[in-house]
Chains A and B, each alone.
Chain A
Amino acid sequence: MLENFAASLMTIEGFAFYLFSVLTIGLFSVTVMSKNILYAMTSLAAGMVLISGFFFILGADFLGVVQLVVYVGAIMALYSFAMMFFDATRDIKEKNTSNAVVFVLGGMTALVLVLMFAAPIYSESIQALYPMHEGVGNAQDVGMVLFTKYLVPFEVAALMLLVAMIAGIMLAGKKMDDSLTEDMSADDEIMIEKDEK
């Protein structure tokens, strides 16, 4: 067991895997434990970058880059935009009624997730349902599966995003024609003066 670990640590892939694993878990722990918003946000973003490293190790360059663009570039940036409304330099006070409940619930969820993902590995070796084709790029392979086998979920997801987008525009766009910065009454006065002339 220990020899296997040492041997895998010696290879480039193994070393990179363990390095990324330790760093990712460490950074995400900081995200959960830290009381400072800035630390939590920075470590979450850094962890997202490191997760893309796993995709690169597995040879899934395209998915790795998508992880970078989507999670680091878009989703985390939106989180951080929400953080603008807080005082980032001050520690926050969490309102936990009971630490034990949080610990048990969190621990149970983590345990269930580990069991869920570990079960297929333990029972039989994982088989690739859609192995990569030789000489075809990563993006093409993903696209082929996405537009044949998973076309319906893909389209449904697109529709849901469209619905969410329209809802967002409806919610935010009610007062779109009014300027928040300019004093509208000043404009009215100008209009009245024009009318009088």
Chain B
Amino acid sequence: METTLAGHVVENLPQVTATGVIIKAVIILAVLSALAGFGTFIERKVLAFMQRRLGPMHVGPYGLLQIAADGIKLFTKEDIIPQNANKLIFMIAPIITAATAFIALSAVPVFPDFTIPEFIPLLGGTFVPSIASDLNVGLLFVLGMMAAGLYGPLLAGMSQSNKWGIIGAARTAIQFLSYEVVTGLSILAPIMLVGSLSFVDFNDYQAGGIGSWLIWQQPVAFILFLIAGFAETNRTPFDLLEHEAEIVSGYATEYSGMRWGMFFIGEYANMITVAIIASVVFLGGYDAEGALGWLFIMLKIAFFFFLMLWVRASWPHIRPDQLMWLCWKVLMPIAMINIVITALVILI
């Protein structure tokens, strides 16, 4: 028994305090905003490597300081609001994207839990949990929050009184709505197996090593979830929202400076969220490999992130009608059949 500065009694199983949750929230915000910047650098380098180019090379060693240069550019750029746009909605839209992306991250396990060492003044001994807000229905909450994220691009496109923006917004609505169905249905099969919506239960269910990973029992659901995840995070075969060859930049056409940057941060945060869900639900969770579990979950998340870049380098865009065909005539029926088969197997 020991007492932290916040006055809470800490037993053997550390108690989650308000201070710990706030620290966690700050860590998530800081690290992931920075990761979004670093992610662009990695993306450009990986794409360059796959296309036999050099990528950014001029700013700093191997172009590493390109992140700083891009950041300075984004922060100092003029924030232009078009004359005929609905100014309030135009200003709010990027905040919705960034906010929903980070709220979604509050219910998934990000980084291992740890206790701040005693020798640090003020905050020493505070237990920082792995999941900022451990909901019973965490999985549904994350999916719901990502669904709410569609208002960012939607309102952005509709408020800017720009043809490309409107087309981008319409594409947002059809793409996100359609693929939400696939995401939900594909993840329903593992939920039925585990019998819970909590990430902790998913982690515990797969505690028996690689053999007990859900990917072996639900390979179809895994692939469906990945495909739908690409569509929901607006990644390249499915980035119709801002397909630069067709609609300039879609919903983001009129945005500049930090407002555009917020869309960007939101997109990268969503990519990381999808990677975390895929790792925890299908690839064994965060302490599957014992003491080094936190390292392996990072590697799994990094792999999914890399996979998104890899796919971008390898595959062309698809047409909107192909996107709808894929969703409603291929992926959704497969997801339904998968659920029925899973239910039959559970019953028998």
Contact = CB atoms under 8 A, between A and B. Distances in A.
B310 interface: no
Nearest to B85: A89
B86 to A, nearest CB: 5
Contacts of A83: 158
A38 B147 contact: no
A73 B197 contact: no
B85 A139 contact: no
A137 B196 contact: yes
B177 interface: yes
A74 interface: yes
Interface residues of B, number: 35
Given A81-B173, A138-B136, A38 B150 contact: no
Given A36-B86, A61-B135, A68 B147 contact: yes
Contacts of B161: 88-89
B151 A62 contact: no
Do most interface residues of chain B lie in helix, strand or loop, or is the interface mixed? helix
Interface in A77-91: 77-78, 80-81, 83-84, 88-89
B174 interface: yes
B267 interface: no
Interface string B155-172: 100110100001001100
Contacts, number: 92
A77 B136 contact: no
B197 A42 contact: no
Interface in B181-223: 184, 196-198
Could you say which of B84, B154, B180, B184 has the most chain A C-beta atoms within 10 Å of its C-beta?
B154
A18 B150 CA distance: 28
Given A61-B137, A74-B177, A81-B173, A69 B158 contact: no
B180 A65 contact: no
Interface string A47-86: 0010000000000011001101100111001101101100
A96 B5 CA distance: 62
Contacts of B302: none
Nearest to A66: B140
Interface of B: 84-86, 88-89, 92, 135-137, 140-141, 143-145, 147-148, 150-151, 154-155, 158-159, 161, 166, 169-170, 173-174, 176-177, 180, 184, 196-198
Given A73-B180, A138-B137, 17 more contacts: A38-B86, A38-B158, A39-B88, A39-B89, A42-B155, A49-B148, A61-B141, A62-B136, A62-B137, A65-B135, A65-B137, A69-B144, A77-B147, A78-B177, A88-B86, A137-B197, A139-B137
6 contacts: A61-B141, A68-B147, A73-B144, A74-B147, A78-B177, A137-B196
Interface of A: 36, 38-39, 42, 45, 49, 61-62, 65-66, 68-69, 72-74, 77-78, 80-81, 83-84, 88-89, 137-139
Q: Top 9 nearest A-B pairs by Cβ distance?
A: A73-B147, A68-B144, A69-B144, A65-B140, A81-B173, A88-B158, A89-B161, A61-B137, A72-B148
